[in-house]
Structure formats: C-alpha cells, structure tokens
C-alpha cells in the first residue's frame, strides 16, 4: 500500500469516526465523563505537581548553592528529596499559621461586623423610612434577632458544614465513583512521584518523542513545552509573591492609621489580587463599605490609604515581581483577561494571561523567523 492510499484511508476513517461521534454526542460525553472520573487522580496529580514545581525549583537552586559553598557534591536525588520536603513543609507551615493566626482574627472581624450591623440597623431603617421606603419586613426580621441570643460558634459551625456539603457535592460530581479523600490522596502521591522523578520522566518523554517523530517537530515540541513551563512558573510565583506583599502592605497601613478590619481587608486584598484588574477594585470597595458602617471619616481615609498603597505597589513592586514575568503588553493582558473571563470565568481571567503570553511569544518567534528567511537579515 503506497503512502497516498494510506493517507486517503486515514482521512476516510477519521471522517467516519467524526460522523459517528456527532450522531451520538450523549454517549460520547458520557464516555468522556467516565474516563475523566477514572483518570481524575492522575490529572489532579499532574496539575498539583506543576504547581508545586514552582517552589520546588526555588529550593533546588537554594540547596545547590548551599552545597556548592560547602564544597560538597551530594547526589542529585538528595537535593530533589530535600527540596520536596522543604516545599511540603513550607506549605504545611503556612496552613498552620493561617489557622492559628489569620482565621481567629478573621472570625473576630466578621463577628464585629455582624454585631455592628445589628447595632446600626435601627438608624438605617429610620433613614430609609424617612425616604418613603417600606421597611416593615426588615424591622420584623431584626426584632427576632437579639445579640445575646446569637451563638457565633454555632453560626461558624453551620457555615463550615454548608461549605463542606457544597464542596463534597462538587467533588462527587467530578470524581463520580471515586471518593474525594481517595482522589486527593492518590493525586498527592502521584505528584510526589512526578516531582521526585521529573528529570527521568523528562528524558523518557524526549526519547519517545525523538524516536517516533521528526527531529524538527520534536525540537519544536520541546521548545514549546519549555516556554509554557517557564511562563507559567514565573507567573504563578510572581502572583503569589505580589499577593502576599500587597495584602501585608494593606494590613500594615490600616494598622498604622488605626482603620478597623485591617486583617480582614488585608486577606481579602491578597486573595482577590489574583484576579487581574477587578480584584483590587473589589477588595477596595468591600473594605470601604465595611469601614463606612463604622465611621464615614475613616472610610474616606481608608479609600485614600488603599489608593496610595495600590499606587506604590503598582509603580515600584508589581513591575519587578510580576511585570516582567510573562513579557506581555498591557493591551494584550487586558484582551487575555476579557477572553478568559468570558470563556471560563475567574479562573480564565487568571490563567489566560500566561497562555496569551505563550501564544504571543510563539507568534513573535515564527514571524521573526519568516522575516529572516524572506529578507535574509
């Protein structure tokens, strides 16, 4: 059978298969859902390994320099193992610090906001009544709530139970027959194996790629994979550092000016700063509204302080920490945020920035190569 005949047969086979899939979309989606449930631990492990690889690389560089200064030549596996344990230990330490320091402070802030709303509610109802707005239903609801009858521990327990139920339902849908605990455990184990043997896995993948494909195509695939890895690693590390710095700066500034809810607004700012453009605005808006309920003058001060801190961070910190991490112009960043948000919501807004940066770099390299070939310069 000659080459052209094989190509025609492959094309016909592909067309028949595509037609069969289109005619049985329900069965195809059901099969893909089942397949996704089976391979969910592997996919989750790969994603987790990709994320953990960012701090792992930092620890590997640190230990390599340390052993070099000590004039020691440890085995490659030793550095990888130490880096992995350091990464997992750092994450565990951050979780412990959050639950021992941040969570109690947040609980206190939320509790004070709740009681402040109850205390200020009669004034707000009176103001609404003066404007001719019917407040009967609000008044009846507030009369049934007395601060001394409120059990904050019970409220937080219900919140945690409700959140747990929602997460449990979401994971059950995603993992079908596999339990959440087993999926997470397998994902963690798989990610650890991947991280410990990432160099071996990389060599094996390259061998398969170069053995079964053309060298030119294999080189391009390796180049694209390296570009994706570098771009996403720089983006994730830069965003995490920037979120921590901005959240701490807001917390510190609010503490200095004695503005209430410093810890709550600082954590909100750090978390929402992962969302480009609108994240900081949302955190500022929520913070000003919370402070406004306590003191209008302090709300104005908090707005000014927030904008000053945001300006300092945008001008002097963000360009050095994140600005050069993806090498994307502001206009393309905005386009990436809009398209990503439209297609995949908040996660799309975050991860479409490095994806657009990868596409931009590939198009730039391809265009430069074509110009060089066309005009011989």
Chain segment 262-288, per-residue pLDDT in tens: 877 888 888 888 777 677 788 888 888
Extents of the domains making up the chain: 226-377
Residue 377 has a pLDDT of 57
Q: Which residues of 196-233 are buried (b: 16+ CB within 10 A; e: fewer)?
A: beeeeeeeeeeeebeeeeeeeebeeeeeeeeebebbbb
Percent of the chain with pLDDT over 70: 72
Please say if the pLDDT value at position 303 is more than 80. yes
Q: Say how far apart CA 247 and CA 93 lie, in whole Å.
A: 18
* Segment among 167-171, 313-317, 331-335 with least mean pLDDT: 167-171
pLDDT tier, 105 (very low <50, low <70, confident <90, very high otherwise): low
Q: What average pLDDT does the structure give for the chain?
A: 76
Residue 172 has a pLDDT of 52
Bigger pLDDT: 325 vs 229: 229
Please say if the pLDDT value at position 145 is more than 60. no
Residue 135 has a pLDDT of 63
Alpha carbon dihedral 217, 219, 224, 226, in 10-degree steps, equals 160
Residue 166 has a pLDDT of 47
Highest mean pLDDT among 230-234, 245-249, 279-283: 245-249
Tokens of 45: 């492990």
Alpha carbon dihedral 275, 91, 254, 317, in 10-degree steps, equals -60
Q: What DSSP string describes 45-77?
A: HHHHHHHHHHHHHHHHHHHHHHHHHTT----HH
């Amino acid at each position: 059978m000659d080459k052209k005949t094989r190509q025609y047969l492959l094309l016909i086979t592909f067309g028949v298969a595509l037609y069969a899939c289109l005619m049985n979309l329900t069965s195809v989606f059901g099969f893909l859902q089942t397949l996704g449930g089976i391979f969910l631990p592997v996919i989750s492990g790969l994603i987790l390994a990709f994320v953990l690889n960012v701090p792992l690389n930092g620890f590997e560089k640190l230990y390599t320099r340390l052993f070099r200064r000590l004039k020691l030549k440890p085995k490659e596996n030793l550095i990888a193992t130490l880096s992995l344990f350091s990464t997992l230990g750092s994450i565990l330490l951050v979780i412990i610090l959050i639950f021992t320091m941040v969570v109690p402070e947040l609980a206190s802030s939320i509790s004070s906001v709740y009681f402040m709303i109850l205390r200020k509610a009669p004034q707000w109802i009176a103001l609404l009544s003066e404007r001719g707005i019917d407040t009967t239903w609000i008044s009846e609801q507030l009369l049934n709530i007395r601060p001394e009858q409120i059990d904050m521990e019970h409220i937080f327990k219900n919140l945690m139970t409700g959140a747990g139920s929602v997460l449990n339902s979401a994971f059950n849908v995603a993992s079908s027959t596999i339990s959440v605990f087993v999926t997470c455990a397998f994902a963690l184990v798989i990610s650890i194996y991947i991280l410990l043997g990432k160099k071996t896995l990389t060599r094996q993948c390259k061998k398969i790629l170069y053995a079964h494909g053309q060298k030119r195509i294999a080189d391009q695939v390796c180049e694209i994979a390296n570009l994706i890895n570098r771009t996403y690693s720089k983006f994730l590390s830069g965003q995490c550092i920037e979120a921590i710095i901005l959240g701490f700066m807001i917390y510190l500034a609010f503490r200095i000016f004695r503005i209430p809810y410093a810890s709550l607004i600082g954590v909100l700012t750090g978390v929402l700063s992962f969302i480009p453009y609108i994240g900081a605005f949302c955190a500022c808006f929520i913070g000003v509204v919370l402070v406004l309920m306590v003191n209008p003058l302090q709300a104005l001060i908090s707005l000014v302080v927030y904008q000053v801190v945001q300006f300092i961070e945008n001008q002097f910190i963000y360009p050095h920490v994140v600005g050069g991490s993806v090498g994307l112009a502001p206009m393309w960043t905005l386009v990436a945020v809009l398209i990503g948000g439209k297609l995949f919501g908040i996660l799309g807004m975050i991860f479409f920035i490095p994806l657009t940066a990868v596409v931009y770099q590939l198009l730039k390299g391809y265009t430069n190569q074509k110009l060089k070939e066309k005009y011989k310069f």
